[in-house]
Amino acid sequence: MAPNGSDSTTSVGAPGFTGSPPLAGADGGKRKVAGYALAAALAVAVLAAGYGWATSFDALIQERLTEGPFQPPVRIRAAPRELAPGVPVTLDDSLSWLRQAGYAQGGGPAGSYSVEGGALTIEPNPSARSTASPARIEFNDKGVETVETPDGRELPRFVLTPVTLTRISDGGHTLRRLVSYQELPANVRNAVIAIEDHRFFEHDGIDRIRTLRAAVEGLTQLERPSGTSTLTQQLARGFFLTPEQTYSRKLKELTIAFRLEDLLTKQEILEHYVNHVYMGRWGPFDVRGLGMAARRYFDRDIVEVTDAQAATLAGLLQRPSYLDPDQFPERTLKRRNQVLAAMLRYEYLSESAYQEALAEPLGVVHRDLDTDMAPYFTALAEQELRRLLPEDRRGFDVDSTLDLDLQRMAVEAVSKGMAEVDKRLARQSRFRGAKPPHAQVALVALDPRTGEAKALVGGRDFESSQLNRALARRQPGSAFKPFVYAAALTTGLPGQETRDGEVITAATILPDTPRTFVFGDEEYRPTNFGKRVSGFVTVREALAHSVNVPAVELAERVGYDRVAELAHSAGLQAVKATPSAALGAYETTPLELAGAFAMFANEGRSVKPHFLRAVWDNGEIVYRASPEGDQDQVLDPRVNAIVVNLMEDVINRGTAYQVRAAGFRPAAAGKTGTDDDGWFVGFTDKLVCAVWVGFDDNTDLKIEGGESAAPIWTAFMKAANGMPAYRGARSFHRPEGLEQAWVDVPARIKDYARAAEDRRAELELAGMLQEPVDPGGEDSEEPKRHYEPIPHREQNELFLPGTQPKPRGGFLRGLRFWK
């Protein structure tokens, strides 16, 4: 139509028109009609092409949305916690546990809780996989006092829904907690809309008013306009497109935004947005979505955040790294207040609510990644999951073996213990005038009966270094010696004697003098720490004081191959049948060594360390570990009991005497190790723990294992002993068939540290153990010498049947049999 409303095409070439020759007018009219037709056809073609181009993105959109906006993450969860009478936890501790497990006041994914008069009432969510019933829990100054049903019926315990350690998606580098639109609290929704797109519910994907205003500002201020994208555009850009900044990508962004508005409701768009948006980093992980951000920054579920916290989360959307609350709290606070002002301006907050939120502290919780997520542990749990179930694992719920409270104790023990190691390093002369490098650490704690990993620390700080030292291969040094002694003591079993028919017992006397061992075409000359020698030493004293030469002597007598075979059976596959194996020359990892020592704590049965208990897929179990673990009887229980008894002396009066000096009282056994690094592996009947301390570049630590690793072990085990699951460690089991006897040994052998180093002392010790002989022999020109008896001491010793020394001059005082 023409501006005046007439049809301009009817006057062209109409009857009665006389302004042009008839034929020319007819031809011109035809040309114009043809031109309009062509223009219309082109317009239709352009529109069709544009529509086709626009709808070509539908396949991309549908592909990304087919199974929901994101791939369902793998949820790795800790072992469930229990609240039971006598458990030493406070009400505040319990509330923190509940929030971590997904409970919230008013209702969370796991359930709801309320506090009244110091009592805690818990209502599990029926939709959560929990067998717990509602419970009311009361506390006293020592911890949990009672657990009852709401109607007053006594309960033995309340089992919490397992805490989710991590949700792994997008190749394992993203942490996300999916939130539905219905879960998204109004204050969070309003904060996001107020600051990011206040006309979100009015526009069709593009806010033309905002775009025009930004363009005008850009022209007048000669600056690039910013902040014009709607939430729909941000979703299109971040979720469907690559990040490059080009005109073609911007055109695609606008097109996808329009299509999203056609294909999805506003609620669905907002749900997708709040779950996808980047919210900063936590160590090596990307934090995606407001659900995980609430947990990351405030240690609470998103349904519990305050108005001020909602504003903080919405404020971080602009520039999460620049506004990082951990590094730049003043920037975060300023941005939060801007969001609160926007919420007031658009009437999402009243004046009083605004003032109240404005006065609230930022309240960001500085969470410890190593404690809350146990990332070194979860990485190994994920590896085990991939090995067990190599196919598609999306959406799996994985129940791990981790004890979250034991993990916290491990992190604390490592932190305090390494601070002491730093002080010792700073006092070393090689570092005077310079700052010593940071030593590193690993701690592994296992259940010796099942092989379940209960706590694992792979370094001082996962955020600084993701290298997992629990898997780092290092020489264990003397920490390997118990396997040598175990192999040697098996010679007391029928048919297991040495090649020379010898039976080795805990009372066997071994030479401790410089000696060269020949193996093949090579020579091996071990020395003791500090190059000390004592002349002779019993098997018990040799292990207690970690004397090197007798250990190699034992390995030679029993056979290097038997030592290696026992080590392999216990899980130390790298050990070879050579003299140096006796002193821990072959590399292992803290995880392997902890698993191998579990054999001693488990009556000679080996177990394989593992990290998973069960895997669930939509409520159906697809994998469950054996409750007893994968066990093999590697060592005769009687031999095992003797070896454990020897290792008890390592702690009671040997190289790990610091354990008792620090106040650890339960029955325990273990072994120190010192090479370039410091080791201590020890155990009770409930827990085995290995600690390694050293430098990543293999620089010599120059601190013995008893002074570097043992204090960390002690602090951790003392804390663990306060927990109901690990409290009350019992004396180690002694099976039937062991005999106990009092034997006499030379008194001076006991005092290894002050043992004589000259030939006369060695000969005196030798003369006490056998018929006196002239060191020069019958033909020697040296004068004959008279050997005076050396005082004896009595030692209560364990033996396999028939292996006790024969009585000689009061050598054997009596026998007592263990039933």
Q: Would you state the pLDDT for residue 73?
A: 79
Query: Is 1.10.645.10 the CATH classification of the domain at 80-161?
Result: no
Q: Would you state the pLDDT for residue 38?
A: 56
Q: Would you state the pLDDT for residue 666?
A: 95
The tokens of 412 are what? 């604390």
Tell the burial category of 307 from Cβ atoms under 10 Å away from its Cβ (0-12, 13-18, 19+).
buried
| CATH number for the domain running over 368-476+587-630+656-734 | 3.40.710.10
What is 308-346 written as a DSSP string? HHHHHHHHHTS-TTTT-TTT-HHHHHHHHHHHHHHHHHT
Tell the burial category of 193 from Cβ atoms under 10 Å away from its Cβ (0-12, 13-18, 19+).
buried
What sign has the CA pseudo-torsion 14, 18, 23, 24?
A: negative
CA distance 166 to 372: 9
The CATH superfamily label for domain 173-359 reads Biosynthetic peptidoglycan transglycosylase-like (1.10.3810.10)
Q: Would you state the pLDDT for residue 816?
A: 32
Q: Are strands 174-176 and 285-288 parallel, antiparallel or unpaired?
A: parallel
CA distance 776 to 790: 21
Q: Would you state the pLDDT for residue 6?
A: 39
Q: Would you state the pLDDT for residue 8?
A: 38
* Helix (H), strand (E) counts: the chain: 26, 29
The tokens of 505 are what? 């017992």
Compute CA distances 771 → 381, 434, 747, 760, 804, whole Å. Answer: 61, 58, 18, 16, 20
- The pLDDT tens digits for 243-265 are 566 666 677 778 888 888 888 89
- In what helix (H) or strand (E) does residue 42 lie, and over which residues does it extend? helix 22-55
Where the chain has pLDDT below 50, the residues are 1-25, 46-49, 222-226, 748-792, 808-819
Q: What are the extents of the domains in the chain?
A: 80-161, 173-359, 368-476+587-630+656-734, 761-817
CA distance 449 to 451: 6
- Identify the bridge partners of residue 327 per DSSP, sorted by sequence position: none
Phi, then psi, of 701 in degrees rounded to 5: -70, -35
Residue type (1 letter), 406? L
CA distance 211 to 205: 12
